[in-house]
Chain A
Amino acid sequence: MKPLLCITSQAAPLLRENIDTDIIIPSREMRTVSKTGLSDGLFAGWRYIEGRTPNPDFVLNQPQFRAAEILIVGSNFGCGSSREHAVWALAEYGFRVIVAPSFSPIFHANCIRNGVAPVILPESDIKGLAAHADAGEAIRVSLEDMAISAAGESWSFSLEDEPRMMLMEGLDAIELTLKHQGDIAAFRQSDAMVRPWVYLSGRRACP
Chain B
Amino acid sequence: MTLAVERHGTALHEARTLAGKIWDQHVIRPLGGHIDLLAIDRILLHERTGGVALKSLDEAGRRVAAPAQVFATMDHIVDTFPGRTDDTLMPTGRAFLEATRDGARRHGITLFDLNDPGQGIVHVISPEQAIVLPGLSLVCPDSHTCTQGAFGALAWGIGSTEAEHALATMAVRVARPLDMRITIDGVLSTGIGAKDVALHIIRHLGSGGAKGHIIEFTGSAVRKMDMEARMTLCNMATELAAFSAIIAPDDTSFDYLAGRAYAPRGALWDDALALWRTLATDESATFAAEHRFDAGDVVPMITWGTSPQQAIPIDTRVPAITALGPDDSRTAYDNAIAYMGVTPGSDLTTLAIDAAFIGSCTNSRISDLRRAAALLKGRRVAVGVKAICVPGSTQVKRAAEAEGLDRIFIDAGFEWREAGCSMCFFAGGESFGARQRVVSSTNRNFESRQGPGTRTHIASPETVAASAVAGHIADPRLLEILP
Contact = CB atoms under 8 A, between A and B. Distances in A.
B158 A106 contact: yes
Contacts of B110: 202, 204
A169 interface: no
A40 to B, nearest CB: 14
Q: For this complex, into which size category does the number of interface residues on chain B fall?
A: 35 or more
Nearest to A160: B33
Given A33-B55, A87-B159, A207-B261, A102 B208 contact: yes
Interface in A17-49: 17-18, 20, 22-23, 26-28, 30-35, 45
A30 to B, nearest CB: 8
Given A31-B92, A162-B33, A183-B37, A82 B158 contact: yes
Contact of A180 (B28, B241, B448): B28
Interface of A: 16-18, 20, 22-23, 26-28, 30-35, 45, 74-76, 79-84, 87, 102, 104-106, 109-110, 113-114, 160-162, 173-174, 176-178, 180-181, 183-184, 187-188, 190-191, 194-202, 204-207
A112 B264 CA distance: 37
B443 to A, nearest CB: 10
A205 B92 CA distance: 32
A83 B446 CA distance: 15
Contacts of B165: 113, 173-174, 177
A203 to B, nearest CB: 8
Interface stretch (B133-141, B376-384, B406-414, B462-470): B133-141
Interface of B: 1-2, 28-29, 31-35, 37, 39, 41, 49, 51-52, 55-56, 60, 62, 66-69, 90-92, 95-96, 99, 108, 110, 116-118, 129, 133, 135-136, 141-143, 157-162, 164-165, 168-171, 173-175, 207-208, 211-212, 241, 243, 261-262, 264, 268-269, 271-272, 275, 306-307, 327, 329, 331-332, 335, 395, 425-428, 444, 446-449, 452
A176 to B, nearest CB: 8
Contacts, number: 204
B28 A17 contact: no
B335 A207 contact: no
A75 B326 CA distance: 12
Contacts of B29: 180, 183
B448 A45 contact: yes
A16 B335 contact: yes
